Amino acid sequence: MLAAVPGTPAAAPVYNQAGSTATSIKVTYAAPASDGGTDINSYELQMDDGSGGDFVSLIGADSNNLKLFHVQSTGIEKGTIYRFRYRAKNQVGWGPFSAIAFITAGTVPDAPPAPVVTATTTTTASLSFSQTLDDGGAQVSQYDLYVDGGDDFTSAYTVVAGYDKTSSTYAPSVATDGLVAGKTYRFTYKATNSFGASEKSNPVIVGIGAKAVAPTLIEKNVSLSNSTSISVWWEQVTTSDLPILGYRLL
């Protein structure tokens, strides 16, 4: 039986995200089902310029290549879609090209800025959010808001289910989000694109409760004052929704 060229590969090259970065693309591919009756001696991988131009050989055309993967790190621009295809060769010649893979160069977004507290009440905390400064080369599809358990910053974060994943503001509350008045919470935020989710932002710390009241009495401490300094004292605030962290003298 006479040999023939290898068959058409069953699938297009496959993007390998774990081996790729924002400016490099790793693809893998497989041997065709038919080697044509004789050993395959090379695989050629081709890529276009990201603008719909002609395919250019990356590996396997000028010298034999039997690797079933390739990392392309030159000519790659974050956010650009490139076309890839490959074919196999035996001693008879080159087989047909595979289907074309369309692969976007990119990575997960950078972590967005920390949420900002714009207002608080005894039952709610109003937050505002900013977009990530780097989307990783692919449009951000959603943002997720997280809150801890309000247990002295030791508990794990959970998703705030009431947040709609796109709005620039949200007001988590006792009524809708299970917050507890008198507790102090950490809120953090992350962005997701087609490559996956960013790291969480830095947290913002929010107390659910009324603002502390002013001390009812402040007086000069005559015995500790002199001609160049004044000592004062005040009564400690003992009633507050949230722990008193300190005093500010103005």
Q: Which one-letter DSSP state was computed for residue 177?
A: H
In a domain, 3, yes or no: no
CATH code at position 126: 2.60.40.10
Check residue 1 and give its pLDDT. 61
Q: Are both 131 and 197 inside the same structural domain?
A: yes
State residue 195's pLDDT score: 96
**Same domain (yes/no): 179, 219:** no
75 is a domain residue: yes
Q: With contact defined as beta carbons under 8 Å apart, do 108 and 193 qualify?
A: yes
Q: Domain for residue 153, yes or no?
A: yes
Tokens 């502390």 found at: 212
For residue 166, being part of any structural domain is answered with yes
Co-location of 69 and 24 in the same domain: yes
- Domain containing 201: what range? 116-207
The predicted model scores a pTM of 0.80
Which residues does the chain have with pLDDT short of 50?
none
Verify that 122 and 200 share a domain, yes or no: yes
Question: Which residues fall within 8 angstroms of residue 199, CB to CB, at 6 or more apart?
Answer: 111, 190
Same domain, 203 and 217: no
Same domain, 186 and 200: yes
Asked, for residue 77, whether it belongs to a domain, the answer is: yes
For residues 72 and 56, give the distance between their C-alpha atoms in angstroms, rounded to a whole number: 12
The tally of domains found in the chain comes to 3
At which residue do the structure tokens 């087609």 appear? 194
